Amino acid sequence: MLVALALVWARARVPDQAPPTREAFEERHRLCYDIYAAADNGAAYDLLASAFAGKELDHQYCVFAKAESQLAQALANVTVWDLQYQDFKVLAARGNSCTIYSKWMVTYILGHSQHSHVRVNAYEVVFELSKGPDGWRIVSSRILNENNLA
């Protein structure tokens, strides 16, 4: 009986996967900021789907759709100008999932009413990632700190 249970456990257990490198995570996460230049909402969704999965993908798309609606009502637009990652740590890794801490700043231009403003936001976030057939995807996020710096 114990041998049978051990075999079932061994087959069900996902072998540990190496978590994404800092470069791989940042390259994929960076795509999220391309949504403001997307041709339409379908293209924006596809960009988000390259970094997020499951309920987190749905959540991030809803946040984008709300922001896009508010921008359209205000006759405003956003152009992401710079994205600087400042810190990255793998906090935990097991099987095909891992927990990552990331800190970054995004500089963007908010244009409206024939003028524009440069804005800088800083973020510290813990992400849960899962590795599937298409690679690592963010499946949840928890904002630790969010600041408007300019």
Looking at residue 67, what is its pLDDT?
A: 92
**Is residue 51 situated within a structural domain?**
yes
Please state the pTM of the whole predicted model.
0.86
Decide if 46 contacts 60 (C-beta within 8 A): no
In whole angstroms, what is the distance from residue 123 CA to residue 78 CA? 18
* Domain that residue 111 falls in: 21-148
**Is residue 85 situated within a structural domain?**
yes
> In Å, what is the CA distance from 22 to each residue of 27, 85, 128?
8, 10, 14
β-bridge partners, 78: 110
Looking at residue 14, what is its pLDDT?
A: 63
Model confidence over 40-52: pLDDT tens digits? 999 999 999 999 9
**Is residue 2 situated within a structural domain?**
no
How confident is residue 2, by pLDDT bands cut at 50, 70 and 90?
Answer: low
Look at the block and give the residue holding tokens 């928890």: 142
Model confidence over 76-115: pLDDT tens digits? 999 999 999 999 999 999 999 999 999 999 999 999 888 9
Strands (E), 19-149: 76-94, 97-112, 115-132, 135-148
The tally of domains found in the chain comes to 1
For the chain, give the mean pLDDT: 91
Strands 115-132 and 135-148 turn out to be antiparallel
**Is residue 3 situated within a structural domain?**
no
**Is residue 7 situated within a structural domain?**
no
SS3 label, residue 148: strand
**Is residue 127 situated within a structural domain?**
yes
How confident is residue 130, by pLDDT bands cut at 50, 70 and 90?
Answer: very high
> In Å, what is the CA distance from 80 to each residue of 7, 19, 75?
51, 28, 17
**Is residue 14 situated within a structural domain?**
no
Looking at residue 114, what is its pLDDT?
A: 86
